[in-house]
Amino acid sequence: MNLSDYQSHFLAFLFGGSNEPALPNSEVYRFGVEAKAVRALEHSYPTVKALVGPAAFEELALDYFRMIRKQSGDWSDFGWGFPSWIISHRISDRVPYLSDVARLDNHIGRVERSAYEEVNVDSFAEMGEDLASCSLILNKGLHFFRSMYPVISIWEAHKSESPKDTLSFAQAKRMIAKGRGQNVLIYRAGWKGMAEIIPENAVLLLEAIRNQLSIAEVFGEDVLKETNFTNWLQDMIAKGVIVGAKTIH
Amino acid sequence: MGNRQDTVPARPELGSSSVGVGLRPDHYQDALEHPPSVDFLEVHSENFFAEAGIAVDLLKEVSASTPISLHGTSAGLGSVEAIPDDYLQQLKRLVDRVNPILVSDHLCFTWARIGGRLFHGGDLLPIPYTEDSLRHAVNNIDRMQQALGRQIAVENVCAYIEFDHNDFDEAAFLSEIVARTGCGLILDINNVMVNARNTQVAEPADFVDRYVASLDHAAIAEIHLAGSTPVDREELLIDDHACPVSEAGWYAYGRVVREIGPRPTLIEWDNNLPSWRELLGEATKARKAQRRVWNRERSHEFV
């Protein structure tokens, strides 16, 4: 076996694709790497672990590691595809909201590691009277999404040592029974990733801003006419969600 | 063609008797609240590859007062595959951020292709010491030195498997790498001792002496000391960095310092972490060990 084949074969063995160890004691490395993979996913997906329990999480993490394998040198990068991979895993039959919960965990981790933009206060002063020629700038680091499940309530509940005793747990249970979901906004306060429920019109606003529509166009939409522009904008600036304004025409 | 020393900018200097400790996430708060009484801090490079965030800001703050040694665990210098560009770019960004006293990684492989796709093994995977391995290691070290525009240091690793065929012993392999690339070396004494123990070398202390004697002493930029959790005689000893440096480790360290002179020395402790205070206590032991050797040498001079 040449060097290239040895290295490929060794990695295939580590990822469980080959049960033939390259050399005696190779399994020491497989055990070590599997432990690191589980630890990395535990760190990135704490709510998923809390939901399914340590044993099921380890099984899930190892399934992921063996199927997707590791593609970058940074363990904290490992598992970025975990939320979408979960959808096709049998565990989703039992816990259908697990993928969305993983998505929330993933976005929180990413927002904490991203270059979160500062608010450019001066840019708002340049906004003229003509709102048709201005648009708002979204922070590139933030995330928002719609979920068919009450993911924020589930996430809040599982921060507790005893989730079942929390109000969030009771709320999540009620909402799942009624088939109701939550829209999620993930942003950063200092270094900490935050998540909160936002109403449907806020999602529509954020989508319109991301599509670079003018302020007049955004707030001219029928569904958004009732939104109080000033209050909403102040709240979004305070959270660093909107970081500036710019002239577009 | 090797990237010889004269084409690579010299590394920033650190006093030869400097002592440092590894800074791990559990101790970040301690390091900020109680600036360490050590000469440098070592961090694992990949833990700071993020674009931004708490870890990056913390490292910037700590590096303003304490020199940083960037120690990689993922480059896979011995891989047949070239180190990917995005890895080198992330490392370069980090080097530019903290201006480290040393950039280093291990003599092992991590990258390989399976079915044409590139994967990372996630550990320090051993390589045979052959001409072919040497060629790939030299290429990758050259590549990293070129990308960073500075010299790097390469560390010997623990290997839990043995290869049927080697063209070199480990020390000769490392010396050849130094000669061809102008890189520096990190001498991890515990790794040499663990390998000696696992391959049932009769006199591990003599083995360490012989190993060190055949290295290019001028190239040794840093010494690493660590502890391994003891196991039964028939079990494989794992380099887990989970306990204090053993008595045998301190003994070997003293002999190495006597042989090659003082070198910046790092206490590595990665698992089952002690308190920050206890960790710094290990660094003090290293200082004392250096002083003992130094005093003994001086008393011999008088005699």
Distance CA A78, CA A94 (A): 25
Q: Chains A, B: CB contacts under 8 A, how many?
A: 111
Amino acid at A152: I
Mean of the per-residue pLDDT values of chain B: 93
Give the model's pLDDT for residue B301: 60
Give the model's pLDDT for residue A125: 84
Q: How confident is the model at residue B86 (pLDDT cuts 50, 70, 90)?
A: very high
> For A33, which of B109, B122, B133 is closest by C-beta distance?
B122
SS3 content of chain A, % helix, strand, coil (to 5): 55, 10, 30
Give the model's pLDDT for residue B1: 39
A43 contact B CB<8A:
no
What mean pLDDT do residues B59-86 have?
96
Give the model's pLDDT for residue A224: 65
- Classify B267 in phi/psi space as left (phi over 0), alpha (psi -120 to 50) or beta: beta
Nearest Cα to Cα of residue B78 among B29, B33, B111: B111
Q: How confident is the model at residue B297 (pLDDT cuts 50, 70, 90)?
A: confident
Give the model's pLDDT for residue A17: 77
Assigned token pair, A134: 């201005």
Say yes or no for a CB contact (<8 Å) between B119 and A6.
Answer: no
B48 contact A CB<8A:
no
Assigned token pair, B244: 């204090």
SS3 at position A185: strand
Assigned token pair, A155: 């996430």
Do B207 and B192 touch, CB atoms closer than 8 A?
yes
| Pairing label, strands B40-44, B68-71 | parallel
pLDDT per residue over B155-203, tens digit each?
Answer: 999 999 999 999 999 999 999 999 999 999 999 999 999 999 999 998 9
What mean pLDDT do residues A55-75 have?
96
Give the model's pLDDT for residue B6: 44
Give the model's pLDDT for residue B142: 98
Element (H, E) at A92: helix A91-94
A115 contact B CB<8A:
yes
Neighbours of B88 (CB within 10 A): 17
Give the model's pLDDT for residue B3: 45
Distance CA A246, CA B240 (A): 54
Say yes or no for a CB contact (<8 Å) between B112 and A11.
Answer: yes
Amino acid at B64: A
Do A242 and A229 touch, CB atoms closer than 8 A?
no
Q: How confident is the model at residue B8 (pLDDT cuts 50, 70, 90)?
A: very low
pLDDT over threshold 80, residue A43: yes
- Classify B67 in phi/psi space as left (phi over 0), alpha (psi -120 to 50) or beta: beta
Pick the residue from chain A with its C-alpha nearest to B73: A73
Give the model's pLDDT for residue B12: 54
Give the model's pLDDT for residue B300: 65
Distance CA A147, CA B124 (A): 41
Assigned token pair, A199: 């109403």
A20 contact B CB<8A:
no
Say yes or no for a CB contact (<8 Å) between A113 and B50.
Answer: yes
Q: How confident is the model at residue B302 (pLDDT cuts 50, 70, 90)?
A: low
B122 contact A CB<8A:
yes
What mean pLDDT do residues A126-141 have?
86
What mean pLDDT do residues A149-172 have?
97
